[in-house]
Every structure is written in structure tokens, then in C-alpha cells.
């Protein structure tokens, strides 16, 4: 769809999900010049790179927006972030899907605001070669099928006018728009309190070390303190409720985990050459200290409660949910069903786990292994190599002989050259 088609349909009002960055400023002013009444919406996701979200509103109005609204979104993102942790839904290379999960949360927050102002077209600044265009499109189509989605980066006239970042900067400077970006910026960043994504610019050249990236949620591991720190996290029914004996609500848990983990370089600078949904490779440098800390502790807890078949089932569901988030299908039936399938496991995730954080690493330390503190643990005296518990070593004789029946058959039928 191009802007002329919108005009032919009689569209006058258009609303944008904006971050206040270079793309947002460029698109808002450009659409305003085309004669549209532009309304902008920014969802508060605890963006670490924005000290004051009201600055975004001022910026967008200076770019021609008739209104610029800030919408609450932190609590909804915290709920979604917890589901990512509970499903261990990491994409390739250990990426915690922090941007992927934020897109449907953003769209779900923006669409009701559009309806209040009778805006029937949503625009965004996602490029035509990235994943986010898909995430915005699918979330919007699922939540509000009647809302049209306009993507400037798929409009031939916009692409011709702005083939790259430099042209947008030139345009904004020529029109005296209050952009934060400059020609000296070496990469772009997408941010929310779950994590930061750094990409593009000099990061596209893999012959250049990513050390020039300036972390915003912590420090590089090699710059972290030389002394480790013990962090104790209490979980109840799959929900973290305490850190180091202090009770927090879920949003506070994430922020405290970010503070502690980031200071030790945990989850800072995760390097991934990933497969985008559109079929191209991209390089991302990720920051997600709290997700890494909480996710690692939750994995340690799962090790106590999952049996072998439960683990196999969990990993299959985890892979499904990870792909669904990355590809923009967070709201569809498959994701909803997969999350529901994990409920019996999540309810068992109760316990207190202590870990040691040190220079980017999260290491298991101790667990309070009692029936009161870790009620669903399968780690018992039967696991010991000593003569304790109900396990009788001699009972394994028959078990091993049964396993040997198929092994011998394989040896005879399929590997005759290996027989003596």
C-alpha cells in the first residue's frame, strides 16, 4: 500500500506507533506534508535509552503530529516477559526475544487509542527487510482486522526519497526536526526494560569488533567487578517474588534483576548472527541482564522438577514458542495453546535458588532442598551414588539385560564388520 491509495480511499487521519527516533520523526513529518492529520502513540516500556518519555511527545509534535500520546505498557510487558522466561523462549544464539515480545504488547496498547480518535490506519517505521514489520502487521490484523496498516518502508515513493539513513538525517536537518540521531552514530538501538537490541550501521561489518557498542543496561563482562556476588531468588508457582529476601512485584523484580545482573556484565553484549523471518542474515548485539539472570535461575529450578519425558516435552514447546514470538505470532492459537500446555510445569516451579554472578556468568550456588522450600523436587536420596535411598544397584541387572537385547540385534544385523 502507498500513501496515494490511502488518499484515494478518503483517509485523512493516520496514527503511528512511534519510538521518537529517526524513522518516527521522518515518517511523521513526511506524512504531514502529504496532507494527513498525524497522531502519534508511544508505549511506555521502560525504555532505558529515554530519560523522559515526554521528550518523545514534544519531539513528535515538533515533527508535525497533531497529538502525541504516551500509553502505559510496563506491567503488560512484565507479564509477557515472565512467560518468555517460563517457556525459556530464546531464539538463535541465546537471544531472549526482547524486541519480538514487545511488538504485540505495543500494538495491543496503541489500537484502543486509535479507536478513541476514530483513526482507522496504523503506521509504523519498520523496514521492509526486517522482522518487526511482520510483528506489527500480524498483531494488528489479529487484534483489529478492520484496521489498515501502512508501512512507509514498503511505499515505493518513500523508499525512493529515503533509500538510507543518511537521506533521512539530511531531510530532518533540512526541516529542522529535533532528531537524536546524527551521521556519527555507529548503530541503531531498540529498547525496552527487558532488553536492548543494537544493530545496523558499523555493526553490519563483521570484520569490526562490537566492542565499540556502549552498553546502556550494564557493563561489558570484562569491565565488571573482580568480586562475585551471590543472588538468591524465590519463585512461587513459576513467578519470582523475592530477590535476596526482599519482596517485589513483578515489574520491580525485572528492574532489580537488571540492576544486579547488569552491574556484573550478565547478558551484556550477546552476539548473534541470526536468521530473520524474511530470509536474510542479520547481526545483533543484545543486552538483557535481568532476563538472563531470571532465565538462568528458572532453568536451574526446572532441573529439579522435570523428569526425562517432561524435559523432552518442555524443550519442544519452548522451541515452538520461541519461533512464534520471533516470527510475530505471539497472539495466535499455536502460542496460546503452547503456553497453556506449560501450565502444569509452571505450577510446580516453586523454590529458592542462589546463584553466583561474576563477569557475565551466572553459576549455580545452592538451593534450599527441603520439602517445604522445594516441594516438587525429584532430586532425592535415590540419586546418590552411596548406599542410601530405595535404589538397589543389583536391580539394574535385569534392566541392562533388557536394553542389551536390542543392542545385540543392532550389532548382528547392522554392524557385522564390528563383530569380533
List residues with catalytic annotation.
Answer: 23, 103, 132, 188
The H-or-E segment that residue 282 falls in is strand 281-287
Query: Quick check: 283 and 199 in contact, CB under 8 A?
Result: yes
Quote the CA–CA distance of 233 and 349 in Å, as a whole number: 12
* Length of the chain in terms of residues written: 420
Task: Return d(Cα 41, Cα 38) in angstroms, integer.
Answer: 10
Q: Closest by alpha carbon to 223, among 363, 359, 356?
A: 359
| Segment (H or E) for 292 | helix 289-305
Half-sphere exposure (CA, 13 Å, Cβ side) for 89? 27
Other residues' Cβ atoms within 10 Å of the Cβ of residue 120:
18
Beta partners for residue 356, in sequence order? 230, 363
Separation between Cα atoms, residue 163 and residue 177, nearest integer Å: 19
3-state secondary structure of 334: helix
Amino acid at each position: 500500500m502507498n500513501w496515494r491509495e490511502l488518499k484515494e480511499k478518503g483517509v485523512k487521519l493516520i496514527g503511528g506507533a512511534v519510538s521518537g527516533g529517526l524513522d518516527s520523526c521522518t515518517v511523521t513529518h513526511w506524512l504531514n506534508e502529504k496532507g494527513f492529520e498525524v497522531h502519534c502513540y508511544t508505549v511506555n516500556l521502560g525504555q532505558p535509552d529515554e530519560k523522559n518519555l515526554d521528550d518523545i511527545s514534544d519531539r513528535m509534535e515538533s515533527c508535525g503530529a497533531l497529538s502525541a500520546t504516551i500509553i502505559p505498557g510496563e506491567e503488560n510487558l512484565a507479564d509477557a516477559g515472565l512467560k518468555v522466561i517460563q517457556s525459556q523462549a530464546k531464539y538463535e544464539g541465546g537471544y531472549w526475544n526482547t524486541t519480538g515480545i514487545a511488538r504485540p504488547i505495543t500494538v495491543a496498547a496503541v489500537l484502543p487509542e486509535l479507536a478513541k480518535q476514530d483513526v482507522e490506519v496504523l503506521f509504523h517505521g519498520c523496514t521492509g527487510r526486517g522482522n518487526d514489520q511482520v510483528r506489527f502487521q500480524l498483531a494488528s490484523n489479529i487484534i483489529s482486522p478492520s484496521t489498515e496498516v501502512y508501512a512507509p518502508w514498503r511505499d515505493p515513493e518513500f523508499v525512493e526519497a529515503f533509500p538510507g539513513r543518511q537521506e533521512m538525517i539530511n531531510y530532518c536537518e533540512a526541516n529542522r526536526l529535533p532528531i537524536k540521531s546524527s551521521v556519527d552514530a555507529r548503530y541503531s538501538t531498540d529498547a525496552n526494560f527487558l532488553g536492548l537490541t543494537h544493530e545496523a550501521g558499523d555493526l553490519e561489518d563483521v570484520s569490526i569488533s562490537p566492542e565499540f557498542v556502549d552498553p546502556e543496561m550494564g557493563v561489558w563482562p570484562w569491565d565488571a567487578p573482580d568480586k562475585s556476588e551471590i543472588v538468591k531468588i524465590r519463585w512461587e508457582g513459576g513467578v519470582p517474588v523475592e530477590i535476596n529476601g526482599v519482596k517485589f512485584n513483578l515489574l520491580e523484580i525485572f528492574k532489580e534483576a537488571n540492576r544486579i545482573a547488569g552491574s556484573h556484565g550478565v547478558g551484556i553484549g550477546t552476539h548473534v548472527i541470526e536468521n530473520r523471518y524474511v530470509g536474510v542474515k542479520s547481526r545483533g548485539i543484545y543486552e538483557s541482564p535481568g532476563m538472563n539472570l531470571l532465565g538462568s535461575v528458572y532453568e536451574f529450578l526446572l532441573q529439579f522438577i522435570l523428569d526425562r519425558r517432561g524435559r523432552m516435552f518442555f524443550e519442544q514447546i519452548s522451541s515452538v514458542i520461541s519461533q512464534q514470538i520471533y516470527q510475530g505470532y505471539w497472539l495466535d492459537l499455536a502460542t496460546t495453546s503452547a503456553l497453556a500446555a506449560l501450565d502444569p510445569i509452571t505450577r510446580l516451579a516453586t523454590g529458592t535458588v542462589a546463584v553466583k554472578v561474576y563477569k557475565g556468568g551466572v553459576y549455580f550456588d545452592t538451593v534450599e532442598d527441603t520439602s517445604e522450600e522445594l516441594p516438587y523436587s525429584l532430586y532425592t536420596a535415590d540419586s546418590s551414588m552411596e548406599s542410601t535411598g530405595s535404589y538397589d544397584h543389583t536391580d539394574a541387572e535385569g534392566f541392562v539385560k533388557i536394553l542389551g537385547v536390542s543392542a545385540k540385534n543392532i550389532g548382528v544385523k547392522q554392524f557385522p564388520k564390528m563383530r569380533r
